[in-house]
Amino acid sequence: MALKIKTKWHLALFYKSPNDPAIERDVKRIENLHARFAKNHSDGGYLDDDDSLLKTLWEWDKLVGAGAWKPVLYFAYKKSLNSKDNSAAANESRLVARLTKAANQTIFFTNNISKLPEEKQTNLLNERKLKKFHYFLKYLFGRGKHTLSDEEEKILNLKYLPAHHLWVSGQERLLNSKTVFFAGQSLPLSEAMGKVSDLQTTPRRALGQNIVRMLKENSEFAENEINAVYTDKKINDELRGFKRPWHATVLDYQNDLAIVENLVEAVTKHFSISREFYKLKARLLKEKCLTYHDRSAKIGKVPKKYAFAAASKILLKAFGKIHPDFAEIAIRLISNSQVDVYPQKGKAGGAYCSGGVGTPTMLLLNWIGGANSVMTFGHEMGHAIHTEFSKKQIPLYQEYSFTAAEIASTLFENFIFDELTKNFSKKEKIIALHDRLQDKISTIFRQIACFNFEKELHEKVKSEGFVPKEKMAELMNKHMKSYLGTIVDLTDDDGYFFVSWTHLRRFFYVYSYAYGELASNALYQKYKETGSPSAILKFLSAGGNDSVENILAASGINVRNPDFFSDGLKQMRNDLEQLKKLF
Ligand SMILES: [Zn+2]
């Protein structure tokens, strides 16, 4: 397939228009499928013997494969392109409510399995006939301890929309419609944030201050939103018997609790690395101390700008070298209008890749054109390749964990970095190495500092009932300081960055970045040593057919080794020492 550059989403891949009758047809079809499954199996006969269970598990897999979320995603993408599209937001909510109700009819199926007596569980796990569903069953049994009755589960599912989703999307829409004044212009918040690190010291600090001031001025909604969703989370945890606020996420992301806690502890213990990095950075910028907005500042310029078409060619070369299928997938997505490239007012900020069973994989970017844009493109395309490779699995295993997701995306960042910097001059290479290390510092240390911030915020909401925004800002600064060190001076306003930090609303999601970076570095090293992509292909093709730890083990990476994360961090310290020597 030849590459055709397209830069706007073609949402007709989903539906012709918001009024397309196919939307209602699809929703009805899903509702009917759930109703039929419920009618056929609510008597619990599937638990009578292994053959019935096997047959019903295959039916369940078919139900999962029916692609329930396509209509919802269509409206979610429309909303991403235009935060003022109220009708898209309304349709999205309406359909989420309908589909949740539909899925509620069949909730008994996995619930009943998850609560089988332990002896029965062991028997099923040893049954060879059920081998294909071994991991699915094991996963359900693990959840069983925290699963409530069918009726209670239904209520929790239904209240997710008003108690969490509507708050968070309301906050996002509020910020997407805001602008920041800078150099005589009103910039959309996402564009302003993207600009900060590319500016010289004086304008950078001015813009950074304008951003946090705007966030502070708009922090009242966020204050209520965060208190509401954190309280809702606290209620859920209490009902489900989760003692630690990150436990539910770790279970969701199919990780081992002890391994995640080992990661957080190891990174927190090594904050001296990030502090050391910022000291070096102050020296390179010839500043006595740094501000919060200097943390991603450039130490020099690689005066390169990339048109999206040129960047696409770099990406194809970098990925095609590892395996031709990687380039094929990228060509297909770009040429088929599945990548929305340029920023515009009202469009969601940042970048993401989204897809799922039975729906096209979509990438959203906010292209500015520097090397950063190229790296982000590589990151998101890494997610897309992972998503496409996972389609080799049965529908039940096509969805992969967030942690696995970040392993894939950061791995592909390494490949595009190598290609991008290949023809750089020595000076440019040093700058690029600095930027790369800075990214890794941010991915590992900043995200774990955020984990620690969330941890304390959850504790405070629990013990005090309501945490005022001033206190949230103060806490945020405390934890940012812990990884940035004393060389970075934080103002009270800087703490209001929490208003726009979407990760806080996804409860401990951030650990997946640090985990992903350290595990992907190990996969990358393995590729460098062996010159073979086989471990990578194994990892990508596994989708979600086992726990992340087991998928990695099958690809030859042992995160269960207690020193795995510390060893990875030692590598970071070496990189830092190397960089110091270059200057
Ligand atoms: Zn990602």
pLDDT tens for 453-470 read 999 999 999 999 999 999
CA of 381 to the centre of ligand 1 (A): 9
Could you tell me the distance, in angstroms and rounded to a whole number, from the CA of residue 520 to the centre of ligand 1? 12
How much distance in Å is there from the Cα of 532 to the middle of ligand 1? 24
- Cα of 331 from ligand 1 centre, angstroms: 20
The pLDDT tens digits for 80-98 are 999 899 999 999 999 999 9
DSSP-derived 3-state class of residue 187: strand
Q: How far is the CA of 410 from the centre of ligand 1 (A)?
A: 7
- Which stretch of 48-57, 115-124, 304-313, 422-431 has the lowest confidence by average pLDDT? 422-431
Which helix (H) or strand (E) element contains residue 488? strand 488-489
| 316: Cα within 13 Å, side-chain hemisphere | 19
Q: Read off the pLDDT of each residue in 484-509 and give the average, rounded to a whole number.
A: 96
- Structure tokens that stand for 338 in this block: 């599945």
CA of 460 to the centre of ligand 1 (A): 29
DSSP reduced 3-state for 489 = strand
**290 φ, ψ (degrees, to nearest 5):** -110, 160
Q: What is the pLDDT of residue 136?
A: 97
What's the 582 CA to ligand 1 centre distance in angstroms? 30
In 3D space, the residue among 209, 331, 287 whose CA is nearest the CA of residue 487 turns out to be: 287
From the CA of 46, how far away is ligand 1's center (Å)? 39
Instruction: Determine the pLDDT at residue 514.
Output: 96
DSSP 3-state assignment of 362? Answer: strand
Any bridge partners for residue 352, and if so which?
Answer: 364
DSSP string, 395-431: GGGTS--HHHHHHHHHHHHHHHHHHHTTT--HHHHHH
CA of 352 to the centre of ligand 1 (A): 7
Per the CB < 8 A criterion, the answer to whether 416 and 524 are in contact is: no
Kindly list the distances between the CA atom of residue 61 and the CA atoms of 73, 132, 359, 371, 505, in Å, as whole numbers in the listed order: 21, 11, 16, 42, 30
In sign, the C-alpha dihedral spanning 453, 455, 456, 460 is positive
CA of 379 to the centre of ligand 1 (A): 6
Q: Give the distance (Å) from ligand 1 centre to CA of residue 51.
A: 40
Distance set, CA 117 to CA 3, 124, 140, 149 (Å): 55, 11, 13, 15
Give the tokens for residue 375.
């790296």
Residue 565 CA to chain centroid, in angstroms? 20
Query: What tokens does 277 get?
Result: 């990095």
How far does residue 333's CA lie from ligand 1's centre (Å)?
17
pTM beyond cutoff 0.85? yes
Please state, in angstroms and rounded to a whole number, the distance separating the CA atoms of residues 28 and 34: 10
Cα-to-centroid distance, 191 and ligand 1 (Å): 19
CA of 409 to the centre of ligand 1 (A): 6
- Which residues are paired to 364 by β-bridges? 340, 352
Q: Is the pLDDT of residue 118 over 80?
A: yes
Helix (H, G, I), strand (E, B) or coil at 364: strand
CB of 234 closer than 8 Å to CB of 462? yes
The alpha carbon of 406 and the centre of ligand 1 are apart by a number of angstroms equal to: 5
* pLDDT for res 582: 81
What residues pack around ion ligand 1 (CB closer than 5 A)?
409
Sign of CA dihedral 226, 227, 228, 229: positive
3-state secondary structure of 443: helix
Instruction: Kindly tell me if the per-residue pLDDT of 408 is higher than 80.
Output: yes
φ, ψ (nearest 5 deg) of residue 485: 85, 180
**Residue 193 CA, ligand 1 centroid: distance in Å:** 18
Query: What is the residue type of 384?
Result: A
Q: Enumerate domains of the chain plus CATH numbers.
A: 13-147 (1.20.140.70)
How far apart CA 236 and CA 230 sit, in angstroms, is: 10
The three-class DSSP label of residue 16 is coil
Q: Is the model more confident about 158 or about 7? A: 7
Q: How far is the CA of 106 from the centre of ligand 1 (A)?
A: 31
341 Cα to the center of ligand 1, angstroms: 16
What single DSSP character describes residue 354? E
Where do runs of H (alpha helix) occur along 145-270? 150-160, 166-176, 189-195, 201-217, 219-240, 247-252, 257-269
Q: How far apart are CA 150 and CA 112, in angstroms?
A: 9
Distance 408 CA to ligand 1 centre (A): 8
Q: Residue 567: CA atoms inside 13 Å, Cβ hemisphere, count?
A: 12
Tens-place pLDDT, residues 339-353: 999 999 889 988 999
The predicted structure's pLDDT at residue 413? 94
User: Using CA atoms, how far apart are residues 245 and 162, in angstroms rounded to an integer?
Assistant: 21
Average pLDDT over residues 277-285: 93
The burial of 20, by beta-carbon neighbours within 10 Å (0-12 exposed, 13-18 middle, 19 or more buried), is given as middle
Percent of the chain past pLDDT 70, that is, above it, reads 100
For residue 400, report the distance from its CA to the centre of ligand 1, in Å: 13
155: nearest Cα among 101, 109, 102, 91: 101
Distance CA 59, CA 340 (A): 36
Q: Report how far ligand 1's centroid is from the alpha carbon of 401 (Å).
A: 12
Q: Please check whether residue 461 is in contact with residue 211, taking contact to mean a CB–CB distance below 8 angstroms.
A: no
Contact (Cβ atoms closer than 8 angstroms) between residue 1 and residue 328: yes
Q: What is the pLDDT of residues 293-342, one digit of tens each?
A: 999 998 887 778 999 999 999 999 999 999 999 999 999 999 999 999 99
CA distances 372 to 1, 241, 251, 310, 426, Å, are 27, 43, 33, 14, 19
Taking the centre of ligand 1 as the mean of its atom positions, its distance from the CA of residue 513, in whole angstroms, is: 8
CA nearest to 542, candidates 556, 552, 531: 552
Q: Cβ distance 363 to 384 under 8 Å?
A: yes
Q: What percent of the chain has pLDDT over 90?
A: 87
